[in-house]
Structure 1
Amino acid sequence: MTDDAAKIAALNDRARRSFMDCRVVVTQGIQMLGEDATAQILSAVQSFDAFTADNDPYGEHDFGKITYAGKDVFWKWDYCDLDFSMHSPDPTDTTVTARVLTIMLAEEY
């Protein structure tokens, strides 16, 4: 793992676990499952820690998959500039990066 990957992973993990210093987008498919299901899915995403070389080849903790009630749920990070108009120039730098966590049904990907 590179130093940048380790920094990105730490920033991603901190934001994902707390839902602070980021935007969280929950897709319509997740919302259609109902409030209780959505709350359980959000909690599962926050507690996810099953990263392996197979599912996290770059070591950035930027994508995950959980299963809820037989449905595959994906979550993924995007790194935008502070205006949300393009990609961040440096995802390791919180002064120029807005993190966006999207949580979706696999079928919405």
Structure 2
Amino acid sequence: MDKTAKVRDLNDAFRRSFVGGRVVITNGTDTLNDADKLALFDLVKGFDAFTADNDPHGEHDFGSIAFKGGRFFWKIDCYDRNLIYHSPDPADLSVTERVLTIMRAEEY
């Protein structure tokens, strides 16, 4: 398996389960009530509308979702284990900490 496919598989596994990294929501997302947050999280987990336009590197690390009359983005970033620098190898779990951020589009 090439590195891009490995990163894509790891990103998908994390996004679908919220296990294997950290999930962060922005202040704008936090204004949703709990039921709406859970519904938005389910939409992020189920996102599969990847195209060459929104996923040019094939890593499944970004998505855009219409929800409750607004637009929300989610983004996966891969950091080193100390969350200081980008990961030296996002395909290697031993040196990578994934962070999934969910935000309102206007917060981007």
Measured against the shorter chain, the TM-score band is over 0.9
What is the CA–CA distance in structure 2 between the aligned matches of 1:90 and 1:16, rounded to whole Å?
18
Q: Which residue of 2 aligns with 1:4?
A: 3
Q: Structure 2: 5+ residue runs without aligned partners?
A: none
Q: Which residue of 1 aligns with 2:69?
A: 70
Give the TM-score, by structure 1 length.
0.95
Please state whether the residue corresponding to 2:94 is helix, strand or coil.
coil
1:12-68 deviation digits (Å, cap 9, x = unpaired) = 000000100110001110110211111110010000011111111110001000010
Q: Structure 1: 5+ residue runs without aligned partners?
A: none
What is the CA–CA distance in structure 1 between the aligned matches of 2:33 and 2:50, rounded to whole Å?
28
Q: What amino acid does structure 1 have at the position aligned with 2:84?
A: S
Corresponding position: 1:43 with 2:45: no
What is the CA–CA distance in structure 1 between the aligned matches of 2:46 and 2:83, rounded to whole Å?
27
Please state whether the residue corresponding to 2:16 is helix, strand or coil.
helix
What is the CA–CA distance in structure 2 between the aligned matches of 1:76 and 1:95, rounded to whole Å?
21
Give the TM-score, by structure 2 length.
0.96
4+ long deviations beyond 6 Å: none
What is the CA–CA distance in structure 1 between the aligned matches of 2:16 and 2:42, rounded to whole Å?
9
What is the CA–CA distance in structure 2 between the aligned matches of 1:30 and 1:75, rounded to whole Å?
11
Return the offset for 1:5.
1.3
Cα RMSD (Å) of the superposition? 1.1
Matches within 5 A, 1:1-109: 3-109=2-108
Return the offset for 1:97.
0.1
What is the CA–CA distance in structure 1 between the aligned matches of 2:64 and 2:86, rounded to whole Å?
23
Q: Number of residue pairs matched?
A: 108
